[in-house]
Structure 1
């Protein structure tokens, strides 16, 4: 069986880039950076859930105590909660690369139940889908191209996209799409592409069965979440989670996707088709959790865990392998520079 690097790092350009990193950084340094840690993985998941509970608690207290004055505070909490839901998606991405935990069984179990299920992702389907992105990044076969097609666009167009995100239109469309994918009515992907599956031998009951089988972890997680919240007379927490999932999480996803690959060259060279973005405190809270902003570094060595990416970034910068990164505001200006 091929290891994870063989699955995600294929193609001449990637092998050439990896060899260059070996020559510059040395095998010992790369081996050290690739070291995975159950402790670091557990800390990453625990910090994410602590922040989620904290934001939910602050929102609930604001609604209970401040009355009308709570509206701006709750809105702010929902914005940052969207960033923490994105963090769960990023940890799912980490688990898909089998770099969240050193123990492979622990990696998949924790990722399934505490990262993927809450955000309506399927780890195994995502792992297969995401591998195609790494194999074909920046080419016409890149499965994630729909996420960044149409850029650069105009400022008005980008603003309309953000409005659709923040008014729940994108979130509702996403949930419906995921449900249809799990019912095996359309092909599973995370890029919003609708590709119908022709199943002449399938009937309505079989689609329902497929939906419940494929959605089972998400349904179990959120049923338990609702039951616990209801038993504690805290059903507002369940509603707040879904408000963030539908209204602010899509906004955070869009900015993150734009930063990683939008307005880059259509080429197989990862130094030209991928972008690392400089992230301050606010950007890390909303768009760049778990060091996902170090995206060139991730594509260069996918087997490096998220907590090692800042060190890899420093080494690549010191050796002038990568250009100085722009910040998120600069990327958005580039993405909305048309017209």
Structure 2
């Protein structure tokens, strides 16, 4: 099996430069996670408090902000998978399992295989980048499926629906529903608690509108954009470890709604995968000062990456091709 070439930090950093980059703070990761949940809560509160027709503006804005922070919570779980959220591994894993999206151990096993075989044939995430470039029409279709909830349904619920639809005559339905409920217990618990707290005050709609809608629409779209920015159009079996992933420059608005918590520094993350996310900007600046940036895979912005990823020409119409 082809293992991706790794980077030795000593090749780029003196010991006094590397030590602060590798250091895990006892509070910064936890503060970022608190920030994510506070922003979600404030966005919900603002949408609920908006008077009259102002809700027509406040609710869509809240959906965008909340979806971005839902991705942020997942990104911080990703840091926990690298044991980078907290220096105490027990605290790191407990927080990663219980205060983020959950499923830390299974995700860690999967994700570390992605780092081990980045852009090699054995990379489990290669399927996400392999189709690119695609045509602009194909990209628009994918984004439309994301924003209309089709991607969410396919990823989260379609397998259960197929199992129910294809069950054998006389096969009981309850065990299937019980297994599905257990697998989705975090989702169902969050729904039950939120509705129980808000419904007595007339805000029963908070969970479906301000949690489920962002999760089913904005989150899948920006997750797709993040995946495209990170690895699309990177060559399979790429030997250069500075080009296994792409760093994308992000402005303040992109950081707020599609690229939270330094996720855009993905080349640096693959080069030094145990560096906490909040230290990646410093690593970026040091590498730039040392002239390393010219050899790294970077992009000036997300629009630029999308143009590159959707640069494939459409196939000619059969009648034209036959002419």
TM-score range relative to shorter protein? 0.7 to 0.9
1:136 aligned residue (98, 106, 117): 117
CA contact (8 A) 2:4 2:116 kept: no
Tell whether 2:210 aligns with 1:222. Answer: no
CA contact (8 A) 2:47 2:58 kept: yes
Tell whether 2:54 aligns with 1:80. Answer: no
CA contact (8 A) 2:4 2:118 kept: no
Alignment root-mean-square deviation, CA: 2.5
2:282 aligned residue (311, 322, 326): 311
1:47 aligned residue (35, 39, 45): 35
Q: Residues 338 and 126 from structure 1, CA distance in 2 versus in 1: closer, same or farther, beyond 3 angstroms?
A: same
Match of 1:35 in 2: 23
224-233 or 153-162: bigger deviation: 224-233
- Once residues 242 and 128 of structure 2 are traced to their aligned partners in structure 1, the CA distance between those partners, rounded to angstroms, is 19
- Once residues 174 and 206 of structure 2 are traced to their aligned partners in structure 1, the CA distance between those partners, rounded to angstroms, is 33
Match of 1:6 in 2: none
Deviations 1:129-168 (A, max 9, x none): 1011101111111111222232111111111111111111
Match of 1:255 in 2: 225
Match of 1:156 in 2: 137
- Once residues 15 and 84 of structure 2 are traced to their aligned partners in structure 1, the CA distance between those partners, rounded to angstroms, is 19
- Once residues 253 and 281 of structure 1 are traced to their aligned partners in structure 2, the CA distance between those partners, rounded to angstroms, is 18
CA contact (8 A) 1:113 1:221 kept: no
Aligned residues: 300
Considering only CA atoms, is the larger Rg found in Structure 1 or Structure 2? Answer: 2
Deviations 1:201-227 (A, max 9, x none): xx9776555544443334333332332
1:174 aligned residue (152, 155, 162): 155
- Once residues 302 and 244 of structure 2 are traced to their aligned partners in structure 1, the CA distance between those partners, rounded to angstroms, is 17
Q: Which runs of 5+ in 1 are unaligned?
A: 1-9, 186-202
126-135 or 104-113: bigger deviation: 104-113
| TM-score, normalised with respect to structure 1 | 0.81
- Once residues 149 and 37 of structure 1 are traced to their aligned partners in structure 2, the CA distance between those partners, rounded to angstroms, is 36
Match of 2:214 in 1: 244
Q: Residues 226 and 109 from structure 1, CA distance in 2 versus in 1: closer, same or farther, beyond 3 angstroms?
A: farther
- Once residues 247 and 138 of structure 2 are traced to their aligned partners in structure 1, the CA distance between those partners, rounded to angstroms, is 24
CA contact (8 A) 2:12 2:287 kept: no
CA contact (8 A) 1:112 1:217 kept: no
SS in 1 for 2:5: helix
Q: Which runs of 5+ in 2 are unaligned?
A: 164-171, 314-323
Tell whether 2:322 aligns with 1:334. Answer: no
- Once residues 105 and 246 of structure 2 are traced to their aligned partners in structure 1, the CA distance between those partners, rounded to angstroms, is 26
How far did residue 87 of structure 1 move? Answer: 0.5
Match of 1:13 in 2: 5
Match of 2:203 in 1: 234
Match of 2:167 in 1: none
Deviations 1:106-137 (A, max 9, x none): 212222222114xxxx1111111101110111
